Chain A
Amino acid sequence: MVHAPVLIVVTLLLAAFIVPLLYRKLPVAQVVFLLGIVISSIFSIRMAFLVLREGTLTYYLGGWLPPYGIEVVADAFGAYASLVLALISLPISYFVVFAPKEVNTPARYMALILLLMAAMQGMVLAGDLFNLFVFIEICSLSAIAIIAVKGTRDSIEASFRYLVLSALGSGGILFAIALIFMITGHLNMGYVRESLAVTASLYPLNILTALAFIFVGFSVKAAIFPLHVWLPEAHSNAPTASSALLSGLVVKAYLVAFIRIMYMVIGTELFVALPLRPILLILAACAMLVGSTFAIVQNNIKRMLAYSTVAQMGYIVLGLGLFSQRALEGSILHILNHAITKSLLFLAAGVIIKQTGTNRLSDLKGMGRKMPFTFAAFTVGSLSMVGIPGFAGFVSKLYLALGALDIGQIIFAALILVSSLLNATYYFPIVVNAFFGQTEATHQGSDPRKSVMAPLAVFALAVVFMGLFPSVVMPLVRQAAGLLQP
């Protein structure tokens, strides 16, 4: 039995327990923190290769077979999600350690990040519903905590609001799990699915109610329009690394869990039979338009990025709703591409705020000349968000648009274009004003030292690399999309 799937989570959890104990010896804690992330990432990468070569990996905790034992399933989709989590977390962890401290209790902060990573990895690999729920809860709690850990008034208020809505979402998900358990008597995803094939038609009310609660519960967690209201405040008031993690990974981890339940547990047949696809499509369209529109009017750089996340989640949901092979590939690819790009943008924004002391976009005029590298990184991210060819965001848009045309939905292909234009109207002025124009910079600031810039450089290169050579991950993406659409 390959232990990689479970070791990913175990390593992170172990590190999460050790790090706070070392709070007096911060350098040691930092080493443990980085080691935890790096080792689990290595397992994750190894697992991705194994899955690609040999197909789905399953792991039975303690050797107990399902339906009694706990199962960890690493299929192509889970392995892909785990890989995304691992790869994105590496530069961010580096940033946490080497960037100037925004948090007074760094050891606790690192422990929370480890916990969050463990929860997310567990969430995408869990093979039964209740473990999924437990990981969701750990993830929620630690995600809220890495916002509140900043300690400012705004961050605490934002995290409290996040907590309330998150608790609502958790309640909904647990309720749905109870309903599913009620009619199937199983929690293991595979068994639930088999059982549902028979029982779903016997208890249509139960399954409909469960679907509704799952939908709402995960909508809140993954910030699917219109339940995204908590996101802008939460993501913009968090410490820099937290913002990157939240926008880059956390919402996507929830979405992955949502996709898994919807497509692999409830099953595609039911999913197609019910009018869920039109609902997803409409919500995605609204998210793309409304998210971008709100982003345009923001003057706070991080809040703008947060609203942009709402819009970008719309892209992913759009692909799920379109449901053609290529659209699903686009969605799944966008999970990675958006994670890279948004992490880059949030880190750059964090550096900009730290160095200039202002978070207002209107104050950033002319700052590009003072901090050329930071703004160059921001520019790369912007180009990717707008979907300029040669950058990561373009590739996912290409697949999504092709997917839309595959099923004759010209209108949604056009929607992607309109949304790209909207993206351009709020990303490009920042870049243009930073580098060009005669206005003198009103704030002091300069590029930070190289060790802080390194994660930005890594992400920026990754954006370009993914823009030119998406074929690196496409085999895995294609397999994952194939799983969703039997």
Chain B
Amino acid sequence: MDRFLNPMALAVFLPLLLAVAIYILEQRSWRIRNGLAVASAGISFILLATYLGDVRSGAVIVLELPNVLPPLGLSFRLDYLSMLGGLVVTGVWFLVSVYATEYMIKEHAKKRFYPFLVLTLAGAVGVMLSADLFTFFLFFELMSLSAYVLVVHEESPEAMRAGYKYLIMTIIGGLALFFSIIAVYEMSGSVAFVPGGYLTQGGLLANLAFIGFLVGFGIKAGIVPFHVWLPEAHPVAPSPASALLSGVMLKTGVIGLIRVTHQVFTIDLVRNSNWNTVMLVFASVTIVLGSAVAITEDDIKRRLAYSSIGQMGYILLGIGLLQERAMVGAIFHIFAHAVMKSALFLTAGAVIYRKGKRSVKDWGGIGREMFPTMVVFTIAALSMIGIPPLIGFVSKWELSLGALDNRGYAFVGLLLLSSLMNFVYYFPIIQNAFFGNRKHGEKALNIEAAPAMLVPMIVLACFIVFTALVPGNFALDLARKAAAQLFLYK
């Protein structure tokens, strides 16, 4: 039993239990429900944070439950990467949950929303902390399927359509992963994540396994051409859910890819089989296409969703370069993009909540009416574009340096082009919001978002501004160490 009473096991399983508790208790009072929903993420965050010191000093905390689901069993591990991932997931989740308690007041079916919100959290935490592919897969599916309920929350015909697409893509992705995992198990007799990797032998099955991983994780991460569900599913979800889908859940896909390419396959195998080239091609297409389509979208949430696709391309680029510096950028961008995109979706949600305006063309003058909200939006957008010293700049900087080390000048150009495109689709919104005019005949309504919504946004904005400024940047530190660990064995 003591295995279940250590903080790490609690961090994984507590949300699972709380999801059930919330479902049972919510008949009693909505206060308990909201409190528990916020607490579940908060407690997990604190539990994980207790390990931060140990992990930063190089300790690896392991938890194994071999009796669940033989022959593979469950196992969890806290290393640099899972520490960063776990903190990002729980931290962002906590802030978004606080935001949701206010935002969801207007929505229906809250009885369903909160338990599934926490269930999805349980899945996401489990994914980040898992120490083998099988555990990863188990929680990945839990997260993906629970998130379906968040996607279709509105239950409008568009939401149902988007949800159906999401569901089918999720299942295809899950099956692709399933195939790859058993292929790995077949080839090596193990599915653990081992530093340095253990699959050295190429061949048909290995190639199929890699394709399976690319498809499975690519679908989740929104890599073109597996992204088709994303621009439909993210906008139709309620804004807090969109923030989590875009900010947190996409990252599980890339975490999986990082783990697979470094801790299952060896780097040599990835390089010799030219899988890194494949990833780079996908990454380039994703970056260009995501940003380009974002320019053409008028609906703010669709624009943000396409922007997410482009940003995931950055991370895939960092993975595909197979280079330590670039990996630092990729891992740091997991943190950076989670914070920035959640902030953007939350601000967009606040505007939609107060004004009901989804089209960016109607956002004229909003900056004057909802000043703090739009400041947060501006900070996040500038960070997206890559203005120093915001965190978006840091990841791009590291990525570019990594690309240069590999003489990948083209990729640096790609990053610059993408920044330019980011500028093209974010800047007009900001300009219009602060300096544009309201539509003719519309009255000014100075209603700022409620504190429960505003505070999480401001906290996120603080992270965007100060993470790179304060000394001892924990995220960058963890990213560096994680990347160093990944490349230790090359």
Per-position contact with A for B141-172: 1 when CB-CB < 8 Å, else 0?
11001000000100111001001100110011
Asked if A421 contacts B171 (CB within 8 A), the reply is: yes
Residue contact B163 to A432, C-beta cutoff 8 Å: yes
The CA-CA distance from A467 to B70 in the complex, in Å, is 10
Do A390 and B138 have beta carbons less than 8 Å apart?
Answer: yes
Asked if A64 is at the interface (CB within 8 A of a chain B CB), the reply is no
Interface 0/1 of B188-224, CB less than 8 Å to A: 0000000000000000110010000000000000000
Say if the beta carbon of B183 comes within 8 Å of chain A: yes
Q: Which residues of A contact B306 (CB under 8 A)?
A: none
Provide the A171-193 mask, 1 if CB < 8 A to any CB of B, else 0: 00000000000000000000000
Query: How far in angstroms is the closest Cβ of chain A from B149?
Result: 8
- Contact check, B67 vs A469: say whether CB atoms are below 8 A apart: yes
Provide the bound-state CA to CA distance between A406 and B67, in Å: 23
Q: Which of B92-100, B174-182, B387-395, B464-472 contacts A (4 or more CB under 8 A)?
A: B174-182
Q: Are the C-beta atoms of B138 and A402 separated by less than 8 Å?
A: no
Question: Is there contact, CB below 8 Å, between A389 and B138?
Answer: yes
Q: Is B137 an interface residue (CB 8 A)?
A: yes
Bound Cα distance A425, B152 (Å): 17
Collect the chain A residues with CB atoms within 8 Å of residue B186's CB. 402, 405-406
A421-448 at interface with B (beta carbon < 8 Å):
421, 424-425, 428-429, 432, 436-438
User: B397 interface residue, CB < 8 Å from A?
Assistant: no
Are B171 and A438 neighbours in the complex by a CB distance under 8 Å? no
Bound state CA distance, A390 and B141, in angstroms? 9
B-side contacts of A438, CB under 8 Å: 155-157
Residue of A nearest to B159 (CB): A436
A470 to B67, CA, bound (A): 9
The reply on A452 being an interface residue by CB < 8 A is: no
- Residue interface mask B113-153, A partner, CB < 8 A = 1: 00000000000000000000000011001100100000010
> A437 contacts B160, CB within 8 Å?
yes
Task: List A contacts of B205 (CB < 8 A).
Answer: 405, 410
Q: Bound complex: CA of A428 vs CA of B164, how far in Å?
A: 9
Per-residue contact bits, chain A 377-409, to B (CB 8 Å; 1 contact, 0 not):
000000100111110000100100110011000
What is the number of residues of chain A that contact chain B, defined by CB distance less than 8 Å?
Answer: 32
Contact of B69 among A395, A420, A432 (CB under 8 A): A395
Q: B185 an interface residue at 8 Å Cβ cutoff?
A: yes
| Bound form: Cα–Cα A383–B148 in Å | 14
Q: Name the distance in Å between B210's Cβ and chain A's nearest Cβ.
A: 14
Residues on B with beta carbons closer than 8 Å to the beta carbon of A414: 179
**A436 and B179: CB pair below 8 A?**
no
CB pair A417 B179 closer than 8 Å: yes
Check: A197 CB closer than 8 A to any chain B CB: no
In the assembled complex, A413 has its CB within 8 A of some CB on chain B: yes
Instruction: Return B140 CB to nearest CB of chain A, in Å.
Output: 9
Q: Tell which of B69, B164, B175 touches A417, judged by Cβ atoms closer than 8 Å.
A: B175
**How near does chain B come to A251, taking the closest CB pair, in angstroms?**
26
Closest to B185 in A: A402
Contacts of B178 in A (CB 8 A): 387, 398, 401, 417
CB of A421 within 8 A of CB of B182, answer: no
Contact of A389 among B141, B156, B185 (CB under 8 A): B141
Q: How far is the CB of B165 from chain A (nearest CB, A)?
A: 12
Q: Are A471 and B171 in contact (CB under 8 A)?
A: no
State the Cβ distance, B217 to closest chain A Cβ, in Å.
16
Q: Is the CB of A413 within 8 A of B175?
A: no
Determine the residue in chain B with the shortest Cβ distance to A428. Answer: B167
A202 is an interface residue with CB less than 8 A from chain B: no
Residues in A with CB closer than 8 Å to B70 are 470-471, 474
The answer to whether A471 and B67 touch (CB under 8 A), given A386-B171, A402-B185, is: yes
User: Which chain B residue shows the least CB distance to A326?
Assistant: B71
Cα A387 to Cα B138 in complex, Å, equals 11
Q: How far is the CA of A414 from the CA of B179 in the complex (A)?
A: 7
Interchain nearest-CB distance for B359 vs A (Å): 23
Which of A410, A417, A420, A436 meets B163, CB within 8 Å? A436
In the assembly, what is the distance between CA of A128 and CA of B424, in Å? Answer: 81
Q: How far is the CA of A313 from the CA of B416 in the complex (A)?
A: 57
With known contacts A388-B145, A406-B186, A470-B69, A432–B167 Cβ distance under 8 A:
yes
CB contacts (< 8 Å) of B69 on chain A: these are 389, 395, 467-470
| Interface presence of B5 (CB below 8 A) | no
Residue of B whose beta carbon sits closest to that of A471: B70
Contact (Cβ within 8 A) B182 A402: yes
Question: For the complex, is B105 an interface residue (Cβ under 8 Å from A)?
Answer: no
Write the nearest CB–CB distance from B437 to chain A, whole angstroms. Answer: 37
Nearest residue, chain B, Cβ from A397: B178
- Closest beta carbon of chain B to A358's beta carbon, Å: 22
Assembled-state Cα–Cα distance A469/B73 (Å): 10
Does B68 make an interface contact (CB < 8 A)?
Answer: yes
> Nearest residue in B to A418 (C-beta to C-beta)?
B175
Q: Give B residues with C-beta under 8 Å from A.
A: 67-70, 137-138, 141-142, 145, 152, 155-157, 160, 163-164, 167-168, 171-172, 174-176, 178-179, 182-183, 185-186, 204-205, 208
Q: Which 7 A-B pairs have the closest CB atoms?
A: A405-B186, A417-B175, A389-B138, A424-B171, A436-B152, A471-B70, A401-B182
27 residue pairs bridging A and B, Cβ less than 8 Å apart: A388-B145, A388-B174, A389-B141, A389-B142, A390-B142, A395-B69, A398-B182, A401-B178, A402-B185, A406-B186, A410-B204, A410-B208, A413-B179, A413-B182, A417-B176, A417-B178, A417-B179, A420-B171, A420-B175, A421-B171, A421-B172, A429-B164, A432-B164, A432-B167, A436-B160, A468-B68, A469-B69
Given contacts A432-B163, A469-B69, 19 further A-B contacts (CB under 8 A): A388-B141, A389-B69, A389-B137, A398-B178, A401-B179, A402-B185, A406-B186, A410-B204, A410-B208, A414-B179, A420-B171, A424-B171, A425-B168, A432-B164, A436-B155, A438-B156, A468-B68, A470-B70, A471-B70
**Residues in chain A within 8 A of chain B (CB atoms):** 383, 386-390, 395, 398, 401-402, 405-406, 410, 413-414, 417, 420-421, 424-425, 428-429, 432, 436-438, 467-471, 474
